[in-house]
Amino acid sequence: MKLLIDNNLSFKLVERIQILFPGSMHVRDVLTTQADDITIWDYAKTNSFTILTKDNDFDERSQLQGCPPRIIHLVCGNKTTLDILNLLIDRQKDILSFVESDSVNCILKIS
């Protein structure tokens, strides 16, 4: 299960989460830092990524277009990269269960 980390999160997360979520990438490494939401959405869908973001625009898009891709929306305010990493570690089982489920739910909100 691989995450596509949105530009609103640090690229430093990629290296730190490889053990938890192998194959994860940051948007800046596969697209550009200027990539818009539609481009990110299409890339994630085509390449079987789950989008990790703090941007609620992806919530709205998933309500209109469904999934894939699935969205993990961090609703945690301004946190350090270490805080986000710890949040992902603490919620790893929930994230894996969400992504691997057959549920029609496309969004997992984590706070």
What average pLDDT does this structure show over 34-53?
A: 95
Amino acid 61: pLDDT: 87
Confidence check: pLDDT of 5 > 80: yes
Where residue 63 falls among pLDDT bands split at 50, 70, 90? confident
Element holding 101 (H helix, E strand) = none
Q: Which helix (H) or strand (E) holds 53?
A: strand 50-53
Question: Structure tokens of 80?
Answer: 């350090």
What ranges do the domains of the chain cover? 3-110
* pTM of the entire predicted model: 0.94
Query: Span 61-74, mean pLDDT?
Result: 90
Mean pLDDT, residues 28-41 taken together: 93
